[in-house]
Amino acid sequence: MAKKKITAGEIDILGGLLADIAELSRQADEIKGRLKLSGLDSLEGDLFNATVVHQERVTLDSAKVRTLLGKKASLVEKVSPTVSVRVTARHP
């Protein structure tokens, strides 16, 4: 499969899209926060319904696991390679 060329203009589009997503996420989080504080279990709009879900989440404290298992902690670790893209604004 041939690699598709990426352009500098597309990087600027990506930066703009990520900025838009960040602002939209901020707005969504603000509304969700107010809904959580409202005490309502759900609220219907004309197009969407929102439900406040209460649940418990269990996670492992990796620092405590390493303390308890010592060098054996590596026996239960899973390593996954990742590739990411970081986009930062340029300041001329």
Q: Is the pLDDT of residue 1 over 80?
A: no
Q: Where are the domains of the chain?
A: 8-75
> Three-class SS of residue 69?
helix
Are the beta carbons of 36 and 52 closer than 8 angstroms? yes
pLDDT tens digit string along 81-92? Answer: 999 999 999 987
The C-alpha atoms of residue 2 and residue 84 are separated, in whole angstroms, by 21
Provide the residue type at 46 as one letter.
D
Task: Give pLDDT tens digits for 36-51.
Answer: 999 999 999 999 999 9
Contact 22, 34 (CB under 8 A): no
Q: Where are the alpha helices (DSSP H) in 1-92?
A: 8-38, 62-69
Q: What is the mean pLDDT of residues 16-32?
A: 98
